[in-house]
Chain A
Amino acid sequence: MTTIALSAANIWKSYGSVQANRGISLSVAPGEIHAIVGENGAGKSTLMRVLQGIERPDSGHVTVMDREVAFSGPGDALAHGIGMVHQEFMLAPDLSLLENLVLGDEPVSFGRGAFARIDWQAAEAQGRELAQRIGIEVDWHRRAGAAPVHIQQFVEIIRLLRRGTKILILDEPTAVLAPQQVTELFDLLRRIREDGTAVLFISHKIREVTALADRVTVIRQGEVAFAAAVSETDGEEIASHIVDGHNPVTDNVKRGTPGSIVLNVTGLSAASVEKSHPLHDISLTVHAGEIVGLAGVAGNGQVELMEALFGLRAATGKVELKGTDLSGLDADRRRAAGIGFISADRRHEGLAIEASIEENTIAGAHRAAPISNGLWLSLRARKAVALERLKRLSVKYGTLRDPVGSLSGGNQQRVVFAREIAGPPQLLLVSQPTRGVDLNGIAAIHSILRDFRDAGGAVLLVSEELDELQVLSDRIVVLAQGRIVGELGADADRRDIGRLMVMEGAGV
């Protein structure tokens, strides 16, 4: 009798100087659902990559069905019965669900290799039998891309079961699903559990963990912070372990002195990007001389909110800047009205990475005096404006003509700031300002933001780093599933913030 379907023992894995996994151990028994929770960057993905044979651990063992294994690649893990359903579905959208089900392992009635005749009747029978066993209905002849998302997800699961998967790993499976569909997925997973399949379930939502899982492991900073049987703990206790209790040292941090209202948002709603949450009825204000931090697990509407505020995404509701209604205006007009935008995606949105440092620095100001006289550009004024802007933020670079991609991450980000605060704007929308930036760069960017605030600017700051939010912000607003679920002071206990982020508004 197998007692352990899959276990990881003392897994260490580092990337360069980053220790992603520091001695993680966990195990899942046949017929058990084991939830893994943790912040972005806690080390969950690395662990999953190790369990799937994509990465080799630096040290530690992986055991499958009571036997120690050393995977040579992802195919090896599949052969051992480990299957993973990713956040992005892996179905071929233009094939039917049935074709997707058997793709790569088709039942054959005649011949072999390239001349084999695929036995579609057998394929359909297999599909129907599996679907029945886990209690769902599938229209097998439907084009995969046209099927509802939860059906696509179920077919991925069935596809893995058909290939002999005994250990199913699901990476945030509910992120794309509506509440009704989540219920269906959970019913399905419970039936799979009864068949003796082991399920590893990665989630950010405590309520789902307590509703579904048998055991839970919390990973924090590459280590197991907490592990327990779900029956012996509760949501509060789990949530308290996701974020550590060590608030950053903020004794010497100078906070802002908020003035009049700069940004006033009422009832903002917007459609979502894929696998994220639509914005629902967001209302918030940001004052002059104030940094408002927006906390939340990635994909809970942060991208949508920032894009909607800057006019890059269609939205309903009202956005006012110093009493002027900006609703419905495009990015160009909002920029002119006094909004700066620091994109979370520096390489693909914040900068044109192949264009010169000079062009990246002056973009947006290229149509007005002194650079343009309405007909053509003054190269001298263009250069002068660029030099002045770069000097103000002491950006280090070779020559103005170098592609901006040749700079370090920190200096690239300074170029973005140099462009966006040059106006100067009244409101700066800032997303993940220090992602991929070294320590010195982080300090510099923090002081740029503080200086901007102290000069009377308003800042709305999105960051996945709670430390960063607490060090910089004057207030913290928590976003979960596209809604604002709470507001705290910057010195609030970070466990409270973490709890709000994962409890789906239970704390409000």
Chain B
Amino acid sequence: MTNWLNRGLGFAVPLLIALLVSAVVLLAIGENPLDTFSLMLTEAFGSPRRLASTLSAATPLLFTAIGTAICFRAGVFNVGADGAFLIGGLAAVVAGFSLPAELGWALAPICLAIGAIFGAAWLFIPGWLLAKLEVDEVVSTLMLNFIAAAITGYLVNGPFLSAQSGNNVTPLVHEAAELSRLMPPATLHSGFLIALAILAAYAFWTRRTSAGLEGAWVGLNRRFSRVVGVSVQRTIILAMVLSGVVAGLGGAAHGLGQLHRFTDGFSAGYGFTGMAVALLGRNTPLGMLIGSILFGALASAGTTIQLFSNIPLDLVNIIQGIVMIFAVIELGRITIRRRSKT
């Protein structure tokens, strides 16, 4: 019982504080906070179409959140989901326009798999460095994010630049490689369903597999893990690789489902928002689902809200930022655990 209460509070408190602070900001600029909040609610969830756009915005966050959570629960502070998202996204898109279109229905799954493999390979690097050479994973994954952005930025402006359309984009993927739209004309695509499937798989993996159990033990206590016969090194590498699979798959779904191509600025900080979602949801499947929808709602409401009110888009960003800051209070706990793990 108390466990549930704790978890619920852990989720609600950052949100409530963020709303309070935003209310103060709104009052200061002469707006009625209640009106604004209800407008935001309507914009995010008020109609099937709006709901679809919220879920569409939540999709990449759900992927990156799960990818991050896999590492966090093993005590590996991986901040590299963004890089794997980019690499996986580009790999899938390139496959999506360069593989023969004749592959038909098989093309989309192949492209998704390629995205997952590239994401996995990408995060294998910091996983191996951490397990074998004790290279701090925060530094390595953060730096790999910059490298991923630079590599994809170069490729999209050079070798893979589209001949037809303007600048900084690749050609469109074959139609066969596209993920189907669930509620046209909304952009919500079947990548959202894949994300839900991954979430279910994550829930199963954490509770019902020995590797999932071992991940939690390594996160809680490495000396204990060794004594009960768990290889800490292997568990760390596995967490990183699985994290790369999920984040890479997220990038692939985003490319094939949302944009149908790769663009410069492909990830709008999804890796980092996903990290906040993982922290806010405390790595639990339900928590991360709610968290990603929350951030998705803020993103989709934010873009439309300024059309209908005097509220600047910045305010939405402020709310988002404040939620993240208070979600990060939880991060403080994780960091302490990281320090004491040796």
Is A351's beta carbon under 8 Å from chain B? yes
B residues in contact with A372, CB < 8 Å = 210
The chain B residue with its CB closest to the CB of A359 is B213
Is A343's beta carbon under 8 Å from chain B? yes
User: Complex: how many Å from CA A359 to CA B217?
Assistant: 9
The residue in A348, A349, A350 that gathers the most chain B C-beta atoms within 10 A of its C-beta is A349
Is B228's beta carbon under 8 Å from chain A? yes
Is A177's beta carbon under 8 Å from chain B? no
Is B216 a contact of A355 with CB atoms below 8 Å? yes
Is A212's beta carbon under 8 Å from chain B? no
Is A364's beta carbon under 8 Å from chain B? yes
A residues in contact with B221, CB < 8 Å = 348-349, 351-355
User: Complex: how many Å from CA A355 to CA B213?
Assistant: 10
Are A349 and B227 also in contact (CB < 8 A) when A354-B220, A355-B216, A359-B217 are? yes
Residues of B195-235 at the interface with A, using a CB-CB cut-off of 8 Å, are 204, 207-210, 213-214, 216-217, 220-221, 223-231
B residues in contact with A330, CB < 8 Å = 231
Partner of B204 from A348, A350, A376 at Cβ < 8 Å: A376
A residues in contact with B225, CB < 8 Å = 352
Taking the closest CB of chain A, its distance from the CB of B292, in whole angstroms, is 26
Is A261's beta carbon under 8 Å from chain B? no
Residues of B273-307 at the interface with A, using a CB-CB cut-off of 8 Å, are none
Partner of B209 from A331, A352, A375 at Cβ < 8 Å: A375
B residues in contact with A123, CB < 8 Å = none
The chain A residue with its CB closest to the CB of B231 is A332
Taking the closest CB of chain A, its distance from the CB of B220, in whole angstroms, is 4
A residues in contact with B217, CB < 8 Å = 352, 355, 359, 363
Is A331 a contact of B224 with CB atoms below 8 Å? no
Is B228 a contact of A363 with CB atoms below 8 Å? yes
Taking the closest CB of chain B, its distance from the CB of A333, in whole angstroms, is 8
Are A377 and B227 also in contact (CB < 8 A) when A352-B217, A353-B221, A359-B217 are? no
User: Complex: how many Å from CA A352 to CA B204?
Assistant: 21
Is A280's beta carbon under 8 Å from chain B? no
B residues in contact with A254, CB < 8 Å = none
Are A335 and B209 also in contact (CB < 8 A) when A352-B217, A352-B220 are? no
Is A367's beta carbon under 8 Å from chain B? yes
Partner of A331 from B213, B214, B226 at Cβ < 8 Å: B226
Are A351 and B229 also in contact (CB < 8 A) when A359-B217, A376-B204 are? no
User: Complex: how many Å from CA A372 to CA B203?
Assistant: 17
Is A366's beta carbon under 8 Å from chain B? yes
User: Complex: how many Å from CA A348 to CA B225?
Assistant: 10
Residues of A92-117 at the interface with B, using a CB-CB cut-off of 8 Å, are none
Is A312's beta carbon under 8 Å from chain B? yes
Taking the closest CB of chain B, its distance from the CB of A414, in whole angstroms, is 17
Q: Mark A297-316, 1 if CB is under 8 A from B, else 0.
A: 00000000000001010000
Residues of B168-208 at the interface with A, using a CB-CB cut-off of 8 Å, are 204, 207-208
Partner of A376 from B209, B227, B230 at Cβ < 8 Å: B209
Is A348 a contact of B213 with CB atoms below 8 Å? no
Taking the closest CB of chain A, its distance from the CB of B251, in whole angstroms, is 28
Is B227 a contact of A312 with CB atoms below 8 Å? yes
Is A350 a contact of B209 with CB atoms below 8 Å? no
User: Complex: how many Å from CA A271 to CA B220?
Assistant: 27
A residues in contact with B214, CB < 8 Å = 366
Taking the closest CB of chain B, its distance from the CB of A355, in whole angstroms, is 6
B residues in contact with A352, CB < 8 Å = 217, 220-221, 224-225
User: Complex: how many Å from CA A367 to CA B210?
Assistant: 6
Partner of A332 from B207, B210, B229 at Cβ < 8 Å: B229
Is B231 a contact of A379 with CB atoms below 8 Å? no
Is B210 a contact of A350 with CB atoms below 8 Å? no
User: Complex: how many Å from CA A336 to CA B229?
Assistant: 9
A residues in contact with B227, CB < 8 Å = 310, 312, 331, 341, 343, 349-350
Is B224 a contact of A377 with CB atoms below 8 Å? no
Is A379 a contact of B223 with CB atoms below 8 Å? no
Taking the closest CB of chain B, its distance from the CB of A334, in whole angstroms, is 9
User: Complex: how many Å from CA A363 to CA B217?
Assistant: 9
Residues of A336-365 at the interface with B, using a CB-CB cut-off of 8 Å, are 336, 341, 343, 345, 348-355, 359, 363-364
Taking the closest CB of chain B, its distance from the CB of A308, in whole angstroms, is 14
B residues in contact with A336, CB < 8 Å = 229
Is B226 a contact of A377 with CB atoms below 8 Å? no
A residues in contact with B209, CB < 8 Å = 375-377
User: Complex: how many Å from CA A149 to CA B209?
Assistant: 47
Is B223 a contact of A335 with CB atoms below 8 Å? no
Residues of B120-146 at the interface with A, using a CB-CB cut-off of 8 Å, are none
User: Complex: how many Å from CA A364 to CA B226?
Assistant: 10
A residues in contact with B228, CB < 8 Å = 335, 363-364, 419
User: Complex: how many Å from CA A363 to CA B228?
Assistant: 6
The chain B residue with its CB closest to the CB of A371 is B210
Taking the closest CB of chain A, its distance from the CB of B337, in whole angstroms, is 10
Are A355 and B226 also in contact (CB < 8 A) when A332-B231, A377-B208, A379-B208 are? no
B residues in contact with A353, CB < 8 Å = 220-221
Is B216 a contact of A377 with CB atoms below 8 Å? no
The chain A residue with its CB closest to the CB of B213 is A366
Is B220 a contact of A377 with CB atoms below 8 Å? no
Are A350 and B224 also in contact (CB < 8 A) when A376-B208, A377-B208 are? yes
B residues in contact with A350, CB < 8 Å = 224, 227
Taking the closest CB of chain A, its distance from the CB of B134, in whole angstroms, is 16
User: Complex: how many Å from CA A345 to CA B226?
Assistant: 13
B residues in contact with A354, CB < 8 Å = 220-221
Residues of A402-435 at the interface with B, using a CB-CB cut-off of 8 Å, are 419
User: Complex: how many Å from CA A395 to CA B224?
Assistant: 20
Q: Mark A358-393, 1 if CB is under 8 A from B, else 0.
A: 010001101100001001110100000000000000
A residues in contact with B204, CB < 8 Å = 376
Is B229 a contact of A335 with CB atoms below 8 Å? yes
User: Complex: how many Å from CA A332 to CA B214?
Assistant: 13
The chain A residue with its CB closest to the CB of B229 is A332
Residues of B233-281 at the interface with A, using a CB-CB cut-off of 8 Å, are none
Is A364 a contact of B229 with CB atoms below 8 Å? yes
User: Complex: how many Å from CA A372 to CA B225?
Assistant: 18
A residues in contact with B224, CB < 8 Å = 348-352, 363
Q: Mark A34-72, 1 if CB is under 8 A from B, else 0.
A: 000000000000000000000000000000000000000
User: Complex: how many Å from CA A359 to CA B230?
Assistant: 13
User: Complex: how many Å from CA A348 to CA B204?
Assistant: 28
The residue in B208, B214, B223, B224 that gathers the most chain A C-beta atoms within 10 A of its C-beta is B224
User: Complex: how many Å from CA A363 to CA B229?
Assistant: 9
User: Complex: how many Å from CA A503 to CA B81?
Assistant: 59
User: Complex: how many Å from CA A86 to CA B210?
Assistant: 44
Task: Report 11 cross-chain contacts, Cβ distance below 8 Å, ordered by A residue.
Answer: A336-B229, A350-B224, A350-B227, A351-B221, A359-B213, A364-B228, A366-B214, A372-B210, A377-B210, A379-B207, A379-B208
Closest 6 CB pairs of A and B: A332-B229, A363-B228, A364-B228, A349-B223, A352-B221, A352-B224
Q: Give residues in B with beta carbon < 8 Å to A.
A: 204, 207-210, 213-214, 216-217, 220-221, 223-231
Give 20 new A-B contacts, CB below 8 A, not counting A352-B224, A364-B228. Answer: A312-B226, A312-B227, A330-B231, A332-B231, A348-B223, A348-B224, A349-B221, A349-B224, A349-B227, A351-B224, A352-B225, A353-B221, A355-B220, A359-B217, A364-B229, A366-B214, A372-B210, A376-B208, A376-B209, A419-B228
